[in-house]
Amino acid sequence: MPINKIVASFDEAVADIEDGAVIMVGGFGTVVSIPTLLLEALDRKGVKNLTTVSNTTGFGADVWRMQGAPFPEDMDILVRNGRIKKAIVSAPVSALYVNNFEKLLRAGKVKIEMVPQGTLAERVRAARAGLGGVYVPVGVGTVMEKGKEKKTIGGREYLLELPIKADFALIHAHKGDRWGNLVYRGTSRTFNPTMAGAAKVTIAEVDEIVELGELDPEVIVTPGVYVDRVVARPKIAPAEEPSEEVETADAQAIESRRRFQAEIEDVIKAAKERGLRHE
C-alpha cells in the first residue's frame, strides 16, 4: 500500500491525545510559526493535565488578530482553558503585561520548568537523536545547576542536561507531501524541525500539501521518516475579525499594536534617510 500520512481533519489528527500527555508545540514567538489549528482541535477535545514543551506560553489571540493574523490562536488557548498542568518553557511570561500563564502560575494552578532557549532546543534535539543527554555551559554557577551533574571539559565547566521526551509533537510547516516531507518558511524553521521526530508521534500542520516529488529533495528540511501525520490548513482563514468599533480590553494587545506600529514607522523613517524609499 502506498505511504500516505495525510489525515482528513485536525480533530482526527489529535484524536488519540489523552489526558496527561506530554506535548511538544513548535514555533518561535509569533503566531505565524505555530500549529494554531492543531492547538484549537486539542482544546476542542477537552484534554487536561497536559505537560507542554514550547518556547513560549502564548500571547493570546487578540494580539495577533489586531496585527492581521488569519489564524490567531497560540499556546494561550490551552493555558486560559485550563488544559495545562506543567509547562517546560524558556519564555513563559510577557514583559508587557501579566499574561494568562503568569496569572495561573502565581495562583499555584500550574507548574513550570524554566529552560534557557538554546538548552531547550538541545534537550529536544537529544531526544530526537536518541542521546542520553548533552553537556552545556549555560547555567553554571547559578540556580540552574542544582541537582545536575557538572563536568569540566577542556578547562570549562558544563552541566549535563537530559533529553526532553514527549508523546506528541505538534509542528507547523509551509509545505508537505503525503510521505511527510516538509519545508518551512521564515521563523517557522526554528523549534518546528527540531521537534519533528523528538516525540513518539509527530503531527505536522501545513499551509499546503503538494504532490509527491514536487518538493526539491535538496531543500527538504524534515524528511518524512520523522513525521507521522500531515494535515492541511484551509485556504481561507475563518472569519474572526472583530469589528473596528469594538474596543479591546487586552492590555498586551494594545501595547503590542502600539509597538508594532512604532517599529514600522522607524523602519520607514530609516529607509527614507538612506534614500531607499520614494513616496
CATH of residue 33's domain is 3.40.1080.10
Is residue 3's pLDDT more than 70?
Answer: yes
Instruction: Name the region of 46 (left: φ>0; alpha: ψ -120 to 50; beta: rest).
Output: left
Q: In the chain, pLDDT over 90 holds for what percent of residues?
A: 73
Residue 247 has pLDDT above 60, yes or no: no
Asked if the structure places residue 44 within a domain, the reply is yes
Q: Is residue 195 part of a domain?
A: yes
d(CA 232, CA 108): 37
The answer to whether position 105 is within a domain reads: yes
Domain presence at residue 243: no
What pLDDT shows up at residue 260? 61
The residues, any chain, with a CB within 8 Å of residue 173's CB and separated by 6 or more, are 182, 183, 184, 188, 192, 204, 205, 206, 207, 221, 222
| Whether pLDDT at 57 is above 50 | yes
Mean pLDDT of the 107-133 span? 96
Distance separating alpha carbons of residues 33 and 142, to the nearest angstrom: 32
Per-residue pLDDT averaged across 216-243, rounded?
83
Q: What is the pLDDT of residue 276?
A: 52
- Section 70-78 average pLDDT: 93
Average pLDDT score over residue span 169-188: 96
Residue 169 scores a pLDDT above 60: yes
In terms of Cβ atoms closer than 10 Å to its own Cβ (0-12, 13-18, 19+), residue 217 is exposed
> Which pLDDT band, with edges at 50, 70 and 90, does 255 fall under?
low
In percent, the amount of the chain with pLDDT more than 70 equals 86
Distance between CA atoms of 68 and 178, rounded to whole angstroms?
A: 30
CA distance 1 to 207: 26
CA atoms within 13 A on the CB side of 182: 33
Mean pLDDT of the chain: 89
How many distinct structural domains can be found in the chain? 1
Residue 254: inside a domain, yes or no? no
Whole-number Cα distances in Å, 162 to 55, 114, 136:
17, 14, 11
CA–CA gap between residue 38 and residue 261 (Å, rounded): 30
User: Which residue range(s) make up the domain with 172?
Assistant: 10-232
Examine residue 238 and state whether it is found in any structural domain, yes or no.
no
Does 273 fall in a domain?
Answer: no
In a domain, 72, yes or no: yes
pTM for the model stands at: 0.84
Looking at the DSSP assignment, which residues form a beta bridge with residue 158? 151
